Amino acid sequence: MHIEGFEHIYSGKVRELYQPLDPAFSHLVLILASDRVSAFDHVLSPEIPGKGEALTSMTNFWFDRLDVPNHRSAELEVPATVSGRGMLAKRLEMYPIECVVRGYLSGSGWKEYQQTGEVCGIELPKGLEFGDRLPHPIFTPAFKAPQGEHDENISFEQTIEIVGVKIAEELRDLSISIFLEASRLAAKAGLILADTKFEFGNDPRTNLMTLGDEVLTPDSSRYWDKELWEQGVRDQSFDKQIVRNWLAANWDQTGSPPTLPNEIVSLTAAKYSELEHKLTTI
């Protein structure tokens, strides 16, 4: 789409990037969160209504509450035509590390634990069940692969080899610190933050480690309803898991994915909306 005063520079699976035409603001980028949804490395059809605005709203919510430098900028206003799903951000020198923090045993971590008793090389207590809370949050980084390729889980020692000891330790400590604070705030909304991922970069104007990308949204995090979890219901979440489950049951992952049924689209949109409401009304 055309946005007055900006030039389109990149399309991702979910996001569109634009740069200001005014060279005085060449250090900024406009990030648009679309309503597109992806799963199993495919962008699906149709879109999920309201998804882009929900992701942007939740990222803004967390940026307002976390005491850590972030990439959001107030130097320019978000154009009115994309208000609600656009964010002006500072360009960062990104670290090629996906900073994953896990507080509960689920997802790929559960599969690995069943096989080895470990998650990303970190030994865990024996006898844990799916959805159990870990003794303390663990940092399980991944190497950010080039566009179109899969990210690769790596050890902390490998992280050090990539970015050096100082940066690796800062990434780990800051990620866990943010996770703990976010978990505390999410609990006030009756939510459990099971796991999440962060991305950081260096702000060349301040030389500070800065939080970038989307933050603590259902596209980057796994949230559970605390009351249901305490009742033993562990197969619940506020994200696109509904989409993944439907695809897994109706597609063999060869060729193009099928069109999502209206019911799946509506249920997914409702989950995003419900989580946004729970969080932003704390």
Instruction: Give me the chain's average pLDDT, please.
Output: 95
Residue 132, Cβ density class (10 Å: 0-12 exposed, 13-18 middle, ≥19 buried): middle
- pLDDT > 90 fraction of the chain, expressed in percent and rounded: 90
CB 212 within 8 A of CB 70: yes
Q: Which residues contact 68 (CB under 8 A, 6 or more apart)?
A: 174, 178, 211
pLDDT in tens, 123-182: 999 999 999 999 999 999 999 876 656 678 899 999 999 999 999 999 999 999 999 999
Tell me: pLDDT of 20 over 80.
yes
Tell me: pLDDT of 85 over 90.
yes
CB 134 within 8 A of CB 105: yes
The arithmetic mean of pLDDT across residues 35-46, rounded, is: 94
Q: How many CA atoms lie within 13 A of 124 on its CB side?
A: 29
Distance between CA atoms of 247 and 243, rounded to whole angstroms?
Answer: 6
The encoded tokens of residue 213 equal 């990308």
pLDDT in tens, 207-263: 999 999 999 999 999 999 999 999 999 888 898 989 999 999 999 999 999 999 999
The pLDDT value recorded for residue 149 is: 64
Tell me: pLDDT of 193 over 70.
yes
Handedness of CA 261, 11, 68, 138 (dihedral sign): positive
pTM for the structure as a whole:
0.94
pLDDT in tens, 101-116: 999 999 889 999 999 9
Tell me: pLDDT of 194 over 70.
yes
